[in-house]
Structures are given as C-alpha cells and as structure tokens.
Structure 1
C-alpha cells in the first residue's frame, strides 16, 4: 500500500494505492473538506488505507509513505509532540492490531508518485478518472476533546501589575492606506516603515506552516502603479 497527502491553497487531499502480489491495483482519492495540515493529510491517507485493508480482510500489509515524520512516528522512532498527531498515532495503533503483520517504510517521493498524483486530485477537486474510488471527508478521522476556554482574571491580585497596551500599531498603516496620511521623519515614521517592510517574512515556508498548524487563513494583497510622489495605489487590499 502506498499513501500520500497533499496540501495547497486549493485545499487538502489524500491518495491511497493498493498493489496486490499479482499486480492488481486499487486506487482511492480522498477530498478533505476541513482545515488540515500536511501531516494531517498524510495521516488521513494512512488511516483510510488501513481501514480499507481491514475491510478487504488483508492480514499482511506493507505500507509505504514519503513523509518521514509520519513513518518515524508510527514506527515509534519519533514522539508525537502535538495533540492531534498523537490522536492519529493512537488510531494507527488500534488498526495495527487487526493485522497479522504490518510494516511501515519510508520511500523517496520518486517512488511514491502514483499516490502523490491521487492526493493532488483530491486536494484540487479535479475530475477523477474512471476506475478510481473517491470519498469526501467532512471532518477529521480522529476526535479530540476540546478544553473549555479559561476566563482571564479581570481584577489583578495584590502585587500584580496591569499591562497597558499602546494604541493599535495598525492605525498609522490604515491611515496611510485609506486616507493617504503621511508621517514626518521621526518615531511614528520609523514604526510605519518597520511594520510595512517585512520582506518575505509572511511568504516563507515557516510562516505558511505555522498558519496551517494554527488554522489561520492567509490572504495576500498587492500594490500597483507607483506614483511620482512616492505613494502607491492600493490594489486588491483589505486590512481587517
């Protein structure tokens, strides 16, 4: 069994490919209709594949995936440090008990192309070719208990200090974009430049992975047509 997960701006998906000892193939596509990280998509593919194998009464199975994180975790070489990943690991353990033998092996991406193609079909909602099974998942396979939100103490205890926040740092940026308000050289000008000149901080992989892990939606805006006085015209921009 080969499995893979895919995550892009269109959505998330998973793919599973079964190859029997005689060379017969079964192909499955999963459309994940919920917010998922790349690791979650990989686990959804793995767990879905294991459940299919149990349904088909398969007792001996070799599972191959190109996600080193998932393979190391299910092989107990790495610990599951996040609650959701730990829930996926526990579900994998339950299914593992239903096989006489089950092995997990890490393979390079080049050896997992077929499952990768299936996962991308699910993530991009593409037309599914004939002979491929498809299923849509509206919620994650694993369930976790959510802790009730704690209420902050409104009255500080004796000896505690109350932190007073300054004016919203976005205010000068909003004034600059909406009202063309400029600031003279000085402290406010430096603040505006510091907050608006972040380079590639919000386009790198670390920021994107953090947003996916935290279920944060990211919307990008662009600027166009620089004017001669140094200002720019906002295009497709919306500051919340």
Structure 2
C-alpha cells in the first residue's frame, strides 16, 4: 500500500489514442484506464461524430472521454499517456494551441482536469501505447 496517499485518494493511469480515415475524416477513439495495481478499470473504443474530424481532434476526444471516465470512477490522481506529442506539449505549455477548435478541446481537458488533485499528461511511444492504438484500429474494421 502507498502510505503517502490518503484512503480516499485513487491513482490511475489513462492511455488514450485517436485516428482518422482519411485525415480529416471518420474518427475513432479509444482509452484504457488502469488502477494503481495495473488492473483495467475501464476500456472504451468507438467511432465518433462529428464528421469530418482531424486526427489531432480525435486524440483530444479520446483524452477527454477517458478523463471523464476516470472522474466517474473516483480517481484523484491521473497520469494520462498518449503517443501524440502535440497534446502533452500543449497541455504542459511547451507549444501554443492556436486553432480555435483545438483551443476548445484544450479548455475541456483543463476543466475536467480541475476535478483531479493531480493531472499529468505525458507523451509515450507508439509501442508503449500499442494496445490502445489497436483498439482504435478495431473501430475501422
């Protein structure tokens, strides 16, 4: 047991991914939410509206939906991991978010993120995110 956390605090890891066919086009998203022991708490994949959607927007939608799930499950500390470096860079202030539609997605992430005591968004390799990426690909089959 992690004694540094209070009993009512829950740590989790969220892996998220999105894709489009073509880009922009039909979009699929997926996320997998793990508890602090590595067990899957929630898993989701689906084609989403509106059409057309860009790949970047699909990644943001996967993150937003995954964060909503983590909040619903009562997580208080989340590390969100995605292979699209742009999202982690924008969230962490390493690059600007200039497009108005992407700014709306970023505001949603920050709003949902305010419900957590700690939210970190990290870039991971495509290999590390391979399971979530495979769930996205299933949407197009």
- Post-superposition CA distance 1:34-76 (Å, at most 9, x none): 2100000000000000011111111011100000111111112
User: Matches of 1:23 and 1:106 in 2, distance apart?
Assistant: 19
Quick one: which of 103, 107, 120 aligns to 2:124?
Answer: 107
Secondary structure of the 1:48 match is: helix
Poorly superposed stretches of 4+, deviation over 2 Å: none
TM-score for the superposition, normalised by structure 1: 0.50
Q: CA RMSD in A?
A: 1.3
Quick one: which of 44, 57, 72 aligns to 1:28?
Answer: 44
Aligned to 1:12: 27
Could you tell me how far 1:19 is from its partner in structure 2?
1.5
Structure (1 or 2) with the greater strand fraction: 2
User: Matches of 2:38 and 2:63 in 1, distance apart?
Assistant: 21
Q: Does 1:53 align with 2:70?
A: yes
Q: Does 1:87 align with 2:104?
A: yes
Q: Which runs of 5+ in 2 are unaligned?
A: 1-13
Q: Which runs of 5+ in 1 are unaligned?
A: 127-240
Which structure has the bigger radius of gyration? 1
Relative contact order, CA 8 A, sep 6+: which one is greater? 2
Task: State the aligned residue count.
Answer: 124
